Chain A
Amino acid sequence: MAIVNFEAFFRGGTFGFVQIRLLRNGHPYQNPIVINGTGHQQVDLEPGLYLIVVHGVAPPDGATIIIHHPSSPTTPDEFSEGPIHKNYVLTVTLQL
């Protein structure tokens, strides 16, 4: 198992959130993770190829999403005000 942290920052308003769905080798994995307002969620993931499906909304001064995992070099990812819809590919390997 590998620990992956999802972190989100929302600026300029209080309605920001993201919902994160995990697909492992193409199949749904665990229940969706929700980050309501600035905060983080930690999950234990089995090794595999993951597609991380993220949607949410950024308040007037934007949002930042960070996936703490070495195979996710595209984050921190900045979003300006409005809808957040983005997918990330993550390869989780066995942690020794």
Chain B
Amino acid sequence: MTRHTIQSIREGLRAKEFTAVEVAREALEFAERENPKTNAYLLLCPERALAAAAEVDRKLAGGEDAGALAGVPMAVKDVILTKGVRTTCASKMLENYIPPYDATAVERIEAAGGVIIGKTNCDEFAMGSSNENSYFGPVRNPVALDRVPGGSSGGSAAVVAQGTAVVSLGSDTGGSIRQPASFCGVVGVTPTYGRVSRYGLVAFASSLDHIGPFARNVRDSATVLGVMSGRDPMDSTSADAPVPNYAGGLNGDVRGMTIGLPVEYMKHATGDTVDRIHEAVAKLRTMGCEVRDISLPATDYAIATYYIICTAEASANLARFDGVRYGYRSSASGTLSEMYRNTRGEGFGAEVKRRIMLGTYVLSHGYYDAYYLKAQKVRALIARDFTNAFQTVDAIVAPVSPFPAFRIGEKVNDPVEMYLSDIYTITGSLAGIPCMSVPCGTAEGGLPVGLQILCNHFEEQKMFRLAHAFENS
């Protein structure tokens, strides 16, 4: 299983070395055996997987096109709805929730022949940077089992690193794909805001939420993103910009590309991470890229801006969990309003409560202008920094995280310290630009380090081309 890529499965199916059902069976068995090491899967769905795989085999036998992801075993973060397959958001609140419909991304993946074998663990409602906020226990980093895999999409990063899925889907609001990708040594992509429909993604912060892929190489991540992208009438913010053939554009041609290295992004990073980024920059130069220092001056205000906006939006989005239409309901007796308060008090974990409280506070009377409105203005400045930068550079490179994977429990009692691990990823999220993490070596102890590549809106193709050339250099 661990050696497979989308391409190797396609070739194996074509050469009749194996069938899609055989690959799915092998993947399910391997995942079941390996999962206790990491706790990355919350659930395997063999019935659904084998049915999807059988459909691929049927199409291939009939000479039909089985799709770009034909027979590829994949995992889906448990904040993305799968019809009939339990989707928990890693929360007690949705412990028994069975979605009545599929997310658009899931529908498109399966229409392209993808075989979803299970749902992955994550921070509760995608709120966290270490995957320690899951109601179902933390995920362990497959590279170093005493360390976190990053978060919030820790399970989706871990399954790809562990080889228990070939590719996976995660969601990113402030770095929840890129940071775990960097911690686990895999590729993780946050596309342009609106590139992938959010329909069926349980909402955390609607103006910042993205669905994106994890993969073991850039080409696979480009293929998965291509399948999911495009206008969806079910998400009014999904963009109807054309979807280029991302995987087809990986021609290695990066000579003459200009790349910016933001000086503000090197300030908080620790020794090994800084060294790896400088080595990556040197490599990009030998590949024919011109790398120059740039400044994104509003960066220092990004964390405050992000945590005001995302908590404000979260406090509104999570109001729907009130014990009436779905999810947990407190068994304590009382009036309707007591039922709401008890249900939410018992059903949400500590970090989710913290964010609901913070979001409610910054939106409350007397504080709205000072916090929420101010943050929206600073968000505009952060976005403007990028607009200005992309007038002179094709791409920006930076660390993904200031430090590699930390130990489980190390930062769990200090939310401010934990929020700092998002410092380099939230700027791109606030601006809505495409960004990704691609492995660039290891720090002490063999811990992976990720290089972040950021491009202008809808320039995924350029971003993938650079990442692919870097990966193969």
- A and B are partners in one complex rather than unrelated chains: no
